[in-house]
Structure 1
Amino acid sequence: MTNQPSIEQWIEARRGRSAELLEEAFEHLDPRVAEQLSGVMQMWKEEDSDWLSLDGNQSDGLSLQDLKQWSGQLREALVGNPHIERGANLRSDYINEGGVRYGDITKKIRTAIESDIQRRRYFGPTARQERYRACYTDGGVFYLGDNKTRQIEAAIPLGEIVDAYRNSQNRSEVWAYLREWQDYSGGVQNPRLRREWVFTDVFEEKRGNRKTINYDGKPVRVARDKVIFDAFVNTQIGWTFGAPHALNALAWARLYRDFLVNGKIMSDAMAQFAFQVTTKTKKGTENTSLKFASARGSGQTVVGPNDLAPLATAGKGYDFDSGRALASVVATAIGVSVIHLTSDPGTAGSSYGSAQTLDLPTRLSVESERNWNAELDLRVLRWMGAKNPTAEFNPLISATDVYREIQAIKLAWDTGLFEGTPLQDRIADILGIVEPGAVPSDVLTPNNGKTVLATKSASSQGGQSDDSGDQAGGAGQGQSTGAGKGPKSRDTRDDNVSDNAAN
């Protein structure tokens, strides 16, 4: 009897070989399935060998080189794959809908951020869409700021980041980035390669008196008048950089694309044959085959003791709905509804209402990304000189939800238990009003037992009430006036106040 290895020995022998074992298993699958899953296998290989180990030792995450390689594929898919592009547009629209409001900033700063050049580089809708797309394909963004003018100078593409200068005690903490770019100041035909280290806004004090930092054995100058704002998505403790939003959706989007292409090929093949001719003898089959082979055009006649039966696939197409699970995985990876991703409100189990609104998980995910954007905005605003700035997005709610929210606030106001200021602030947040101003002094407060009747107030001042219902012989509440009309200026709430005052 041979000695069987223990569970621990078996795991140890296969530790770090997940991609290899999966590849061995795929050899036993149908060749067509194995070919379709090649994209997923390649991703798993990259993860297993380059940046994610299975032995429990966490690495620095995706390296800068890995990030650039994946970025190239994702940027290509963003142009060529409709579902990857659709997902990016949906998430960007969700996040930036309604814009963002900045508070507690000076007039000078507001003028700067509303200028055309700053809106194009950072604060405008186009810049915000580009920011999300960078997170979608690159895993983060880099913005270059000018310390002299205190304005954003440019959005730096990932390809221009060559290296990172990190904290020796914390590898995930980057103090400065080495930027490499082509300087075309001498003309397009004569570009000049330039390099410089730029410290981040968070660790700008770490620059000290440094003038150069070595790279590849050579000193490279440190920019004294510039700063970099860096921000990453999908980070983990110990990681230097983030991971692109679309990274785990890429392989599945390719599989879904292949499914649709294969379905189109099958539909074309099925459309070529509509009927099947059956004969009673071998000779009849040969004659029929000859007749069909020599027939040209439409409207031909079939002669003989033959049966012409339609195929089961006649008039039918490929079952594209069977690939709904693949589309759902792509939608889940991107963080959108499969209904919105496929532009198909007729999806099984869906409804018109679900196609028009965002579900709660999607809304919470969007709110999280809005907070990420707001935090980056606050870093920029503080660098521009604002002491305690605020950045708030308009609520991500539908018109129906807005109406319900306002109605709920109105009910709270009618109880008489709340002051006007907090309720006004809440309404301003819902409607996107930046500076609502003070609550008017003559606002009509709810009648909660404290308001004195206008008639009694007028009487105390020597005036007379014009309410004929209070006069002798006049019609009161529930009485007829003789002319088919009720009381002129009676308010049922006034009766309650009068009764309370009398008691």
Structure 2
Amino acid sequence: MTIEATPVTTEQQLAAAESMIALLQEDFADLGLSAEDRGWRTMSTELDREFSRDGLDAITRNCAVMAIASPIIKRGLLLRIGYIWGQGVEVAARAGESAPQDVNAVVKAFWDDPANQAAFTSAQAQEENERALGVDGNFFLAFFPNPLNGATTVRSVPFAEVRDVILNPEDRDDPWFYLRTYSAQIAEPGYAPGSTRLRRETRRVLHPAVGFRPKLRPKTIDGVPVQWDQPILHVAVNRLDGMKFGVPDVYAALPWARAYEGFLTDWAQLVKALSKFAWRLTGDRASKARRAAQTLAAALPSAAGLPGTASDAGQVAAYGPGASLEAIPKTGATIDSDSGRPLAAMAAAGLGLPVTMLLADPGTTGARAVAETLDRPLIQEMNARRTLWGAVISTVLDYVVDQSVRAPRGALRGTVVLDTFTRREVVTLAGDVERTLEVDWPPIDKMDPLKLVTALVEASGTEVLPKPWLLKALLKALGEKDVDEIVDALTDDEGNWIDPDANAGDAAVQAFRRGDDPARVVDREEVDDEDEA
């Protein structure tokens, strides 16, 4: 059988070639996309590993070391703490101050409790908690309410102990539990009669999130005990969407702080190397040059006794014919310490601070006013962190008030209703009392006190602003610490102004005109007179 080949025309060859080219272009495009996908997958894997729970442990350890050992990181954290907490904060409850619903008394009792000052309300605790956000990126506060009277004690929980966050399976923004792993020291009877030995034991417990209190509360979940009476409040910063934990404030500044400190170290070594030899002596024989060098060195003044100088600086380099010693040419090279200022600026940017403040130096072209002026972005960033802490304080105080209502012998009365949709309890104070928790921060960029007092005096002449508000603003402008005590002494139980120069009869008449009970005002005047006596 004979098979005849069909001749291929030129048009068919061109069509086949174009088809092959198109196929190759698609293959190359697929290869490019595949390589790009692998690159993104690699970056995603690195991100997951870097910010996993174990990865965060390594990050926080580095941040903790740098917060202690690095002058740049240490000063940056202290500056942030000073801007945010340096002027203090005032808290008060403005609703329900009349007996028996004195919400402010419950708030003040919690805030002034020495146990709570150790962990949350004192200046030292506030500094430590802000530093925890800078070094760990996370702050955990555990609550321990008294089941009888509702008095609440708080304690901070180390970030290293909280290993996982269990979220609502249908809402990742709704935390339910925090898995805590910690080491406890157990005292138990020893082998010898009457002796005691200590043993370390690792424990795993689950703490509910503040506000999460479902109707069914099992004692254990997957064999892990649940501490329903010890909820935890989690504060996280620099957290991306979908992340369970925050990232430290100093994390972005770490590499630049190391680079700047390395630059300064190299600069110091270079200056020391350049200052080692100050004289060059040559001779026809090396031995003759060395003897001349010894004679010259003995005649030169010694630098060993000068502060900040090394004893080997300013030496004489002596050598014979055929040898030479010279420094590497420095023409066009910049070896001054200010050359590393851009590195310090990057570290300052990572901390959200101006480089002039971070280095405590306005620079060669700056002035003192430049170093002391707070720019608008810095004020806004510090105020944003204040707002975060204000929300935390409000959440803590809300919980304290709720526990006082829930406890059988608590100072407050109200109702507790379970919201079936959110699975959270809603506490309402009796008597339709609306709680208003105020967190008052002094302004970061303070106004001139003289100008502020002048403005308040002029405002008082309008007789529009209430006198208690004007008194409070005036006391703050003058730097008074006990503002609330002074205002309470000059107002009645309802917060109305009492003229200190008026007698009891005038106060009773004013109360009658307002529709209040005049007897209450008179009784208060009599009590004040007895206290003074």
Long gaps (5+) in structure 1: 21-44, 53-60, 278-284, 303-308, 444-503
Match of 2:274 in 1: 270
Match of 2:77 among 79, 88, 100: 88
Aligned counterparts, 1:157-176, within 5 A: 157-176=158-177
Kindly indicate whether the alpha-carbon contact (under 8 Å) linking 2:92 and 2:107 is maintained by their aligned counterparts in 1: no
Match of 2:436 among 388, 392, 395: 388
Match of 2:61 in 1: 72
The percent identity for this pair of structures is 23
Aligned counterparts, 1:350-361, within 5 A: 350-361=366-377
Against the structure 1 CA distance between its residues 175 and 333, is the aligned structure 2 distance closer, same or farther, given a 3 Å change threshold? Answer: same
Higher mean displacement: 350-359 or 293-302: 293-302
Against the structure 1 CA distance between its residues 322 and 380, is the aligned structure 2 distance closer, same or farther, given a 3 Å change threshold? Answer: same
Kindly indicate whether the alpha-carbon contact (under 8 Å) linking 2:143 and 2:154 is maintained by their aligned counterparts in 1: yes
Take 1:172 and 1:338, find their aligned partners in 2: how far apart are those partners? 36
Match of 1:368 in 2: 384
Task: Output one character per residue of 1:106-165: Cα deviation in whole Å (capped at 9) or x when no partner.
Answer: 324312321222101111111111111110111110111113254234211011112221
Match of 1:259 among 240, 257, 263: 263
SS at match of 2:244: coil
Shift of the alpha carbon at 1:220?
0.6
Aligned counterparts, 1:91-130, within 5 A: 91-104=80-93, 105-130=103-128
Match of 1:135 in 2: 133
Match of 1:330 among 347, 363, 374: 347
Take 1:199 and 1:432, find their aligned partners in 2: how far apart are those partners? 41
Take 2:227 and 2:393, find their aligned partners in 1: how far apart are those partners? 23
Over aligned residue pairs, what C-alpha RMSD do you find?
3.8
Against the structure 1 CA distance between its residues 177 and 338, is the aligned structure 2 distance closer, same or farther, given a 3 Å change threshold? Answer: same
Match of 2:465 among 419, 422, 434: 419
Shift of the alpha carbon at 1:290?
5.0
Take 1:331 and 1:355, find their aligned partners in 2: how far apart are those partners? 14
Kindly indicate whether the alpha-carbon contact (under 8 Å) linking 1:122 and 1:152 is maintained by their aligned counterparts in 2: no
Give yes or no for the alignment of 1:13 onto 2:59. no
Against the structure 1 CA distance between its residues 292 and 440, is the aligned structure 2 distance closer, same or farther, given a 3 Å change threshold? Answer: farther
Take 1:274 and 1:417, find their aligned partners in 2: how far apart are those partners? 79
Give yes or no for the alignment of 1:194 onto 2:203. yes
Give yes or no for the alignment of 1:240 onto 2:238. no
Give yes or no for the alignment of 1:210 onto 2:205. no
Take 2:274 and 2:41, find their aligned partners in 1: how far apart are those partners? 38
Kindly indicate whether the alpha-carbon contact (under 8 Å) linking 1:274 and 1:310 is maintained by their aligned counterparts in 2: no
Take 2:265 and 2:370, find their aligned partners in 1: how far apart are those partners? 28
Against the structure 1 CA distance between its residues 338 and 227, is the aligned structure 2 distance closer, same or farther, given a 3 Å change threshold? Answer: same
Against the structure 1 CA distance between its residues 150 and 183, is the aligned structure 2 distance closer, same or farther, given a 3 Å change threshold? Answer: farther
Kindly indicate whether the alpha-carbon contact (under 8 Å) linking 1:382 and 1:388 is maintained by their aligned counterparts in 2: no
Shift of the alpha carbon at 1:77?
1.2
Against the structure 1 CA distance between its residues 207 and 176, is the aligned structure 2 distance closer, same or farther, given a 3 Å change threshold? Answer: farther
Aligned counterparts, 1:420-435, within 5 A: 420-421=466-467, 423-424=470-471, 426-428=473-475, 430=477, 434-435=483-484
TM-score of the superposed pair, with normalisation by structure 2: 0.65
Take 1:95 and 1:324, find their aligned partners in 2: how far apart are those partners? 26
Against the structure 1 CA distance between its residues 77 and 19, is the aligned structure 2 distance closer, same or farther, given a 3 Å change threshold? Answer: farther
Against the structure 1 CA distance between its residues 310 and 238, is the aligned structure 2 distance closer, same or farther, given a 3 Å change threshold? Answer: closer
Take 2:258 and 2:267, find their aligned partners in 1: how far apart are those partners? 14
Higher mean displacement: 189-198 or 139-148: 189-198
Take 1:403 and 1:256, find their aligned partners in 2: how far apart are those partners? 42
Match of 2:143 in 1: 145
Match of 2:451 in 1: 404
Shift of the alpha carbon at 1:310?
12
SS at match of 1:231: strand
SS at match of 2:199: coil
Take 1:408 and 1:9, find their aligned partners in 2: how far apart are those partners? 71
TM-score of the superposed pair, with normalisation by structure 1: 0.68
Shift of the alpha carbon at 1:293?
2.9
The one-letter code sitting in structure 2 at the alignment partner of 1:333 is G
Kindly indicate whether the alpha-carbon contact (under 8 Å) linking 1:395 and 1:430 is maintained by their aligned counterparts in 2: no
Task: Output one character per residue of 1:305-364: Cα deviation in whole Å (capped at 9) or x when no partner.
Answer: xxxx99998xx994110000000111111112212211224x133221232342222111
Long gaps (5+) in structure 2: 1-20, 94-102, 189-196, 301-315, 319-325, 403-434, 492-496, 502-533
Against the structure 1 CA distance between its residues 7 and 84, is the aligned structure 2 distance closer, same or farther, given a 3 Å change threshold? Answer: farther
Against the structure 1 CA distance between its residues 383 and 408, is the aligned structure 2 distance closer, same or farther, given a 3 Å change threshold? Answer: same
The one-letter code sitting in structure 1 at the alignment partner of 2:211 is V
Shift of the alpha carbon at 1:183?
1.9
Shift of the alpha carbon at 1:88?
1.0
Against the structure 1 CA distance between its residues 13 and 418, is the aligned structure 2 distance closer, same or farther, given a 3 Å change threshold? Answer: same
The one-letter code sitting in structure 2 at the alignment partner of 1:389 is L
Against the structure 1 CA distance between its residues 206 and 166, is the aligned structure 2 distance closer, same or farther, given a 3 Å change threshold? Answer: farther
Against the structure 1 CA distance between its residues 310 and 79, is the aligned structure 2 distance closer, same or farther, given a 3 Å change threshold? Answer: closer
